[in-house]
């Protein structure tokens, strides 16, 4: 039988690849909108940015950050074990810290968004945050795909099911 459809006591197996692909499919449009939003700052009336800014800020705070935490907590240790210490996920963890810092910066701009009180210099800084967040997320998601292959190649179907279930709820809330 195909992974994800095999019967198991208590239900069918969940595919780690499918779960990851579904998460990324939900994230990528939001990540791409960060770039669109950056291009709009300083070129579009501030008040017209509010709906998009609010939606993408909610995405990063309510979906992206919790997703990162679940992935790091549930997958990174297992990937490192499979790599037998030959390659650390320290760079991925550092990217998570950088993403969190960028999200915190977005929050500071969010506080000024309602009244459109950011200056031209602050607008440029906001664009920089959005550009950096977009670029980092694009690379980070691509890197996750590479590490997922380690698990796909080295774990049996039941082990992948356990991991898929451990991350499955990460995108169910918030979007």
Q: In which residue are the tokens 């790091």 written? A: 72
Do residues 133 and 106 touch, judged by C-beta distance below 8 A? yes
The pLDDT tens digits of the residues spanning 67-91 come to 899 899 988 888 988 888 767 899 9
- Average pLDDT (151-171) is 82
The string of DSSP codes covering 48-105 is: HHHHHHHHHHHIIIIIIHHHHHHHIIIIIHHHHHHTTTSS-SHHHHHHHHHHHHHHHH
Binned at pLDDT 50, 70 and 90, residue 32 comes out as very high
59: number of Cβ within 10 Å: 20
The pLDDT tens digits of the residues spanning 148-159 come to 888 888 888 888
pLDDT of residue 174: 42
Q: In which residue are the tokens 């692909």 written? A: 21
- Average pLDDT (105-130) is 84
Residue 2 pLDDT more than 70?
Answer: no
């Amino acid at each position: 039988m195909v992974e994800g459809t095999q019967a198991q006591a208590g239900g069918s197996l969940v595919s780690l690849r499918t779960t990851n692909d579904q998460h990324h499919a939900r994230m990528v449009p939001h990540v791409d909108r960060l770039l669109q939003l950056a291009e709009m700052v300083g070129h579009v009336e501030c008040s017209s940015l509010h709906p998009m800014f609010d939606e993408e800020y909610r995405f990063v705070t309510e979906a992206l950050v919790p997703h990162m935490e679940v992935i790091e907590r549930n997958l990174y240790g297992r990937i490192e074990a499979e790599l037998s210490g030959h390659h650390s996920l320290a760079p991925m963890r550092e990217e998570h810290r950088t993403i969190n810092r960028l999200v915190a910066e977005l929050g500071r701009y969010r506080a000024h968004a309602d009244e459109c009180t950011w200056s031209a210099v602050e607008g440029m800084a906001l664009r920089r945050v959005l550009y950096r967040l977009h670029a980092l997320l694009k690379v980070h998601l691509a890197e996750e795909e590479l590490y997922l292959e380690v698990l796909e190649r080295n774990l049996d179907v039941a082990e992948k099911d356990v991991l898929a279930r451990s991350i499955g709820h990460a995108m169910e809330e918030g979007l």
